[in-house]
Amino acid sequence: MKSWRFWLGVLVSLFFLGWVLRDLLPEIERFWAALREAQYLWLIPGVAVYFLGVWARAWRWHYLLRRIKPIPTRVMFPVVAIGYMGNNIYPARAGEVLRAVVLKRREGVSVSASLATIIVERIFDGLVMLAFVFLNLPELSRLTAGAGVVGTGSIRQIALGGAALFFTALVVFLIAAMFPQRTQTLIEWLTQRLIPLRWREKTLALSERFLSGLEALRSPLDVWMIFLTSLVIWLFETGKYWFVMHAFPFEVSFFALMLMNGIVNLATTLPSAPGYIGTFDKPGIAVLEAYGVSTAVASSYTIVLHIALWLPITALGAYYLWREGLRWEAALKEAQ
C-alpha cells in the first residue's frame, strides 16, 4: 500500500475502467439484459478446460526444474495454484515469488533457481501470445482506431517491439544456459565493479543458483518441449474463452479469440491493480467490438470471462495456501 508502484497500478486500472464505463453507459440496459440472459452453464466446461491448462503449467514447471530436483506434477499443481492466487490478489505479480517461496518450503529448491525457471516461463508465454497476434495479422486490419484500443499500425508496432524484446531475452538466457562458466565469470567481473563490497558474496551466490535454474535451456529438445507446452497451455486458456462465448448471443472464430487472448494478456503486463482490473477488460472489449459485437454484449462477456478466470483459481490457491499452514501476511513477508 505504501509503494508508488501499487498506486500507479490503481491509477492505470481506474483509467481503463473509466474508459469502459464511458463507452458502456449508453448501452447499460442492454448490458444488464445480456448478463441476465446469459447461459452460465457454459462456464463449467470453460473452467474445466482452464484447469487442464493450469495442470499443463504445473507439468511445464516440473519439466524446467527436473534437472535441479525431479518433483511430480501433482506436487507442483498446488504450488502453481498458489502462485495464481498471489498474482490475482497481490500487486506486481507477487504470486511468482510466492510460489518460489512455497516450493522452497516444501521441496528445498532455492528461490533464485525457481525464479530463473519462472522468468523462462514468462518469456515463452510472451512468445506464444505474440504468435497468437502474428497468426491473426490479417484480422488486425479490422481493428481501427475507433474500434480498438489503438490503430492497426500501432498494434503491429507494439507486437514487433514485444517480439524483439522477448526474443532478445530468450537469446540472452540461452547463451547464459549454454555457457554458464563464462556467464558466471562475466557476473563476477560486473559484481566486482558495480556491487558494494558487503553485497558481493551474496550476489555471486544468488547468481550461481539462478544460473542453475536455466539448465533446461541447454538442450534444443527441452527448449522445443517448453515451447510446445506453452502453446498447449494458451490453447487451453483460449478454449475457456470459446466455451464462455457460448453463454452469450454472439459468435466469433476460435482464431479471433486467440487474437483477443494474445492482446489481452500482453495488455496485462501494464501496471494495474491486483487482478488486472481494467487492463484485461478494455482491450478484450475493443477486440470484440472490432468483430462487430455490440459494446453491451462484448462488455458483459469480457467481465464474466474475467471473473471466471479470476475466481476459481484464486479460491483454489487460497485453499492450498491455507492447507500449507502459511498465512497470507507471513507468505508475503517471506516472499519480500
On whether the CB atoms of residues 288 and 295 are closer than 8 A, the answer is no
| Rounded distance between C-alpha atoms, residue 318 and residue 324, angstroms | 10
| Rounded distance between C-alpha atoms, residue 268 and residue 233, angstroms | 17
Please write the tens of the pLDDT for every residue from 151-191: 555 566 667 777 788 888 888 988 988 888 899 899 888 88
3-state percent breakdown (helix, strand, coil) of the chain, nearest 5 = 80, 0, 20
Instruction: Give the residue carrying C-alpha cell 501496471.
Output: 271
Q: What is the model's pTM?
A: 0.88
| Rounded distance between C-alpha atoms, residue 277 and residue 250, angstroms | 24
Please write the tens of the pLDDT for every residue from 262-294: 889 888 888 888 889 999 999 899 889 888 899
Please give the pLDDT value at position 145.
Answer: 44
pLDDT at 95 over 90: no
> Residue 110 contacts by C-beta under 8 Å, 6 or more apart in sequence?
104, 209, 212
Q: Identify the band that residue 42 occupies on the pLDDT scale cut at 50, 70 and 90.
A: very high
Please give the pLDDT value at position 193.
Answer: 84
| Rounded distance between C-alpha atoms, residue 305 and residue 33, angstroms | 17
Integer angstrom CA distances of residue 106 from 61, 74, 109, 119, 219: 15, 13, 8, 20, 28
> Residue 73 contacts by C-beta under 8 Å, 6 or more apart in sequence?
55, 58, 59, 62
